[in-house]
Structures are given as structure tokens and as C-alpha cells.
Amino acid sequence: MSVRKIAQRYDNRAEMLVQVLVALVQQNGWISEDDIRELADALNLSRADVHGVVEYYHDFRTEPPGSHIVKLCRAEACQAMGGRELAAHAEEVAGGDTTLEAVYCLGNCACAPAVMIDGKTYGRVDAERLDALLASLAEAAS
């Protein structure tokens, strides 16, 4: 569905910008510069207005996501249990088809550090376990 059609579903109301962006990300996985331009026209907003909202929310990606989404918890309980080191390791080993995202609590604090891979949560993840999880993604794809 085009950006204009999504905006029409919300009666082209500027106050529905966040909902339109959510629908767009659900459909396409990300928001392009062209989407922002079209959306600004459709909702009678400036591109800066739309950009401001897109940049404010973490879930509004401005680049196409990889085939796998790995969310690494960066909140306190996970940081205290090695989350920072795990995130640094993930940056080193994640392949180009994997999108890494920082999140702030996955509700799995008792099993910190926690990660979510393609919607499934894992606890007590160290570098070795993360490597195994990423390897299983690669195996599943081949």
C-alpha cells in the first residue's frame, strides 16, 4: 500500500502521524526519505516535522532492516551482567544480514543479559551463546 493510501486510512490527519508511521514500518520495515516527503505532503506537515518524529522513536528505522533483527538489552540489569560487552561483541560478529538494535528492557531482567532475536527472547546470553544463536540463524537460512 502506498504512503498516501496509508495516510488516507487516517483521514490525512497530522495528529495521526505516529500511527501512520507505525503502519508504514509494519508494512515495509523502514521509512525512506521518499516516504517522509510523501507523508509530509499528505499530512500537510513540513519534512522537518516528520523527520523529528521519525528520529525521536527508536522503532522507526530509516534503513532497510536485515533478514534478522537482534535486540540487545542496554538497560541497567543487563548492563550490570555484561550487556555492554555483549553488545560490543555483537557489533564485531553480526553479519550484514543482521540488524542490531538497542532496547531498554525486554522484561527478562532476572535472566540478564537478555537479547531478542526475531521476536524470541533469550536470557543469560554471553558471547559464546550469542555466537551459537547467530550461527543457528545462518544454518536455518542455508
In the complex, the residues that contact ligand FES under the rule CB under 6 A are 73, 75-78, 105-106, 108-109, 112, 114
CB of 111 to ligand FES, least distance (A): 8
Q: State how far the alpha carbon of 16 is from the alpha carbons of 43, 44, 45, 55, in Å.
A: 9, 12, 11, 16
Q: Which is nearer to ligand FES, 45 or 75 (CB)?
A: 75
CB of 8 to ligand FES, least distance (A): 39
Q: Which is nearer to ligand FES, 51 or 89 (CB)?
A: 89
Torsion of CA 49, 67, 100, 88, to 10 degrees: -150
Q: Which is nearer to ligand FES, 42 or 72 (CB)?
A: 72
Q: Which is nearer to ligand FES, 106 or 130 (CB)?
A: 106
DSSP, res 14:
G
Closest-CA residue to 121 (of 68, 83, 71): 71
C-alpha cell read off for 9 = 486510512
CB of 137 to ligand FES, least distance (A): 21
